[in-house]
Structure 1
Amino acid sequence: MNNLQKMIPVLVLGANLAIVSSQICAAITVQQVATQAQSSSDLPVVKSAGLSPDMNVPWSKTVRIIDPFEGEFLGVFDRNSLGGYLYREGSKQVISLWTPQSIRVLATLNTDQAGSFFYVAGRVYPRPDYLKFVTTKKVDKLLLKVREQVFQLDGSNNKFAVSKELATALKNAPDENLDIRLVLEEGQTVDSKIGTQTVKAWRSIY
């Protein structure tokens, strides 16, 4: 048997191994896609990407957003209340939606609280059904501090684009509260925090 005859079975065996290896890789890829699709379908569903002061969504958890105007995508909602109850005088609230492509922010500031009164026998009594209102503010800039790195984002209509560098930083952020600063249209700043559970939830979308 010459050298060429000895090599033929080896070459055939190598080709067969390559085909089997390719089939295994293809099967693994299909399984991964199926697993990801299954895990995505198991997530809570939120039917709008819009933000409002009194919205009720799963906070600090990965959710599947199915918006009638923007389509379907994954996101994490976060809320931080500063100064107590939403409608309390002097309270502030920062709501944000974190998605692979963008960050949306809604800031509300209450500088006053409207109320009503009634008179009985010459005495004034406050009514319990006071008027509830909040004032939303336009956010021009968003600053985030991840470890020692500060990202400054310029936005449009309270929406900020997520770069690859920022996405990587968010994914690798430590398990702790993350500081953010909102620069409002009038130049006023609001310092807030993103909670640890939201930071952990980022890892499934970035």
Structure 2
Amino acid sequence: MIKLSQTIPVLLFGASLAVISPQLCTAFTVQEIGSLAQASSDLPMVKSAGLSPDMDVPWSKAVRIVDPFEGEFVGVFDRNSLGGHLYREGSKQVISLWTPSSIRVLVTVNSDQARSSFYTAGRVYPRPDYFRFVTTKKVDKLLLKVKKKVFQLDGSTGTFAVSKELATALKNAPNENLDIRLVLEGGQTVDSEIGKETVKAWRTIY
């Protein structure tokens, strides 16, 4: 039985707010997650649940994750770039992993960039590759607006528990971009969104 924290009947930007604490039980039991994994054998496979700025995974698609430390489960990866070109100084990238039991979020800020070059025959030739310098930001809170309801999730190290209530809301979310707000350590906020293809993939996950 999942113990939900009390829903607070206040309005936030015209929407009710549900606060979900990090002590919540996960939305699915171990047996349910195992069943989902068994049913996902035809999904693309990803060999790690780790998040990094330059990861190469199928984005916005349901995948089967086979992690050497966490085992096998289903999930969907999402990525959104903010502030222009990915390599632009000051641009941000929000990467997230949505699974039956948790949401993981990584925020990176591009602090600098450099092009490499090589010297030959008395001339300098630029190379097409970039060296990126990025820093990661700790995410303390995640706010999601699903229809008219705002869910506020408290977590640690960028990981947030998924309750039954939230899982149901995500599964039934309209097929459109979904707004999220990330509250970083120190109080800074980053507004981003989840693309409608990821929202569509949630119906497989939840």
Q: TM-score range by the shorter chain?
A: 0.7 to 0.9
Instruction: Name the amino acid aligned to 1:93.
Output: Q
Q: Contact 1:87–1:133 (CA<8 Å) still a contact in 2?
A: no
**Which digits, 9 at most, give the CA deviation of each residue in 1:18-58, with x for residues without a partner?**
xxxxxxxxxxxxxxxxxx77751110000000000010000
Q: TM-score, normalised by structure 2?
A: 0.74
Q: Contact conserved, 1:77 with 1:96, CA < 8 A, in 2?
A: yes
CA distance in 2, matches of 1:130, 1:171: 39
Question: Contact between 1:108 and 1:135, CA under 8 Å: does it hold in 2?
Answer: yes
Contact 1:87 1:134 in 2 (8 A): no
Other structure's SS at 2:88 match: coil
Provide the residue aligned with 1:18 in structure 2: none
Identify the residue that residue 22 of structure 1 maps to in structure 2. none
Superposition misfits of 4+ residues, deviation over 4 angstroms:
36-39, 114-117, 125-130
Counterpart in the other structure of 2:29:
none
| Alignment CA distance shift 1:136-1:37 (3 Å) | closer
CA contact (8 A) 1:115 1:126 kept: no
| TM-aligned CA deviation for residue 87 of structure 1 | 2.5
TM-aligned CA distance change 1:130 to 1:50, over 3 Å: closer
Aligned partners of 2:112 and 2:37: how far apart in 1?
47
Which structure has the highest strand share of the two?
2
- Aligned residue number for residue 23 of structure 2: none
Q: Which has the larger radius of gyration?
A: 1
What root-mean-square deviation, in Å, do the aligned CA atoms of Structure 1 and Structure 2 show?
2.4
Q: Which runs of 5+ in 1 are unaligned?
A: 1-35, 118-124
Distance 1:180 1:66, change over 3 A: same
Identity across aligned pairs (percent)?
Answer: 80
In 2 relative to 1, CA 203–116 (structure 1 residues): closer, same or farther, beyond 3 Å? closer
SS where residue 57 of structure 1 aligns?
coil
Take 2:166 and 2:155, find their aligned partners in 1: how far apart are those partners? 15
Specify which structure has the bigger relative contact order, considering alpha-carbon pairs within 8 angstroms and separated by 6 or more residues: 2
- 1:200 paired to 2:192: no
Question: What amino acid does structure 2 have at the position aligned with 1:193?
Answer: E
Aligned position for 2:24:
none
TM-score, normalised on structure 1? 0.74
Q: Secondary structure in 1 aligned to 2:95?
A: strand
Equivalent residues, number = 166
Higher share in helix: 1
